[in-house]
Amino acid sequence: MDYKSSVWAKNIISLQTSSGNWGYFHTLSTSSKFNKITTEQALRRLQILGFTENDKVINRSLKYLHNCLCHKDSIPDRIEKSHNWSIYVDLMLSTWIRRFSNKFEKANEIANKWGIIFSVSFTKNGLCIESFNKEFINQFSEKPFGPRLLDPINFYTLSIISNTLSRINEKHIIDYVIHHPTGIYYIYGKCISILPSIFQSKQTNTFLSAIELLAEQKYIKSNKQLRYIIPWLNKNQSIESTWDLGPSVKDGVHFPLSDSWRLSANRIHDCTNRINKLLDSI
């Protein structure tokens, strides 16, 4: 099914400004004059619906993000009360550029810096926060992040380092993340090594998001680190070889993909499509 022609995609595309954004980038204000969706939310939803850098809506947004990264434009968000706001913004912008394209030199440069930070900070014994902070200062000439990014294990850092690591460094980092007690900040707040007890649940929806993020790493297939979820998925598969996560996972981000879930068959199709894609990636 082509989700790029869905009502969800058409609605998001209709809200994009001529500049290529959707108003605020990261922080949504309820009193905003902008859309009730951030640029980041729009890009996440469009990517899930199957859009790539070859689509006009994404291409236009990538040019906007790159202009912001090069300080030819700027995001309209208020400066958050955290250390190194400019570095945090560069991290967010570069992450979303690289989620669609590796053709932007500035974003790749920032990604490589984060890749080096992670490579020298993680070993088979876990994370050395002292090494992390030292290399952060070495790469950015700034003090490490404050409370806003106190935990290095978050959506942006794990996404941006994709394809920047050696196989052994990637393995060390993924091992650490899987057993990290608080999961991945912004994505999933529980230990990823512990499978959700209820399959048809919101927890499973966010758990799958965490696994999908880790599955983007370059050597994940050969390292086989995520295959522990396969027996659990097989256990929850129907006799028709489909999966149903239930109606509670309708979050406006990952689901729905089909225009409507009034028919349970559409929901099952969407859930099965997502899980099959995940299985192919691990």
What's residue 182's pLDDT? 96
* DSSP characters over the chain: --GGGSHHHHHHHHH--TTS--S-SS---TT-SS-SS-HHHHHHHHHHTT--TTSHHHHHHHHHHHHHHTTSS---PPPPSSTTHHHHHHHHHHHHHHTT-S--HHHHHHHHHHHHHHHHHEETTEE-HHHHHHHHHHHHSSPPP-GGG-SS-BHHHHHHTTTSS-HHHHHHHHHHHHT-TT-BBTTB-S-TTSPPS-SSSHHHHHHHHHHHHHTTSTTHHHHTTTGGGHHHHHHT--TTS-----GGG--SSS---SS--SSHHHHHHHHHHHHHHHHHH-
- pLDDT tens-digit profile of 107-128? 999 999 999 999 999 999 999 9
What's residue 27's pLDDT? 78
What is the pLDDT averaged over residues 159-175?
97
How sure is the predictor about 69, in pLDDT bands with cuts at 50, 70 and 90? very high
- pLDDT tens-digit profile of 198-241? 999 999 999 999 999 999 999 999 999 999 999 999 999 999 99
pTM attached to this predicted model? 0.94
What is the pLDDT averaged over residues 94-115?
98
What's residue 143's pLDDT? 74
pLDDT over threshold 60, residue 250? yes
What's residue 33's pLDDT? 59
What's residue 150's pLDDT? 63
How sure is the predictor about 84, in pLDDT bands with cuts at 50, 70 and 90? confident
